[in-house]
Amino acid sequence: MVTHPSPRPVLDQLLPAAHQVSEVAIADSTSQAAQAVAEHRHDLALTTEPAAARHGLRFISRLRRIRMVWSVFVRS
């Protein structure tokens, strides 16, 4: 299993019961995680739908919608 560190906390909620993970490798991005699976360096990736499609991966996760909004802030 490979993932970017940010979504790591939701892994147990998304992983199907049929798949056991003993080790989680860290990637610099979810896209790199998908690429690592496409290149047979890992078996599973916690990634985004666009990255999975780009790298030819098949969806096996439980469905959990996560709303993410990235913003830039400064001090008030």
Residue-level pLDDT at 57: 95
Domains in the chain, number: 1
Say what the pLDDT of residue 25 is.
96
Cα–Cα distance for residue pair 64/72, rounded to 1 Å: 26
Residue 32's domain comprises: 1-76
pTM of the full structure: 0.80
Q: What is the pLDDT along the chain (76 residues), one digit of tens a residue?
A: 999 998 888 888 888 888 888 899 999 999 999 999 999 999 999 998 899 999 999 999 877 777 777 777 878 8
Largest CA distance in the chain: 49
pLDDT in the model for residue 5: 93
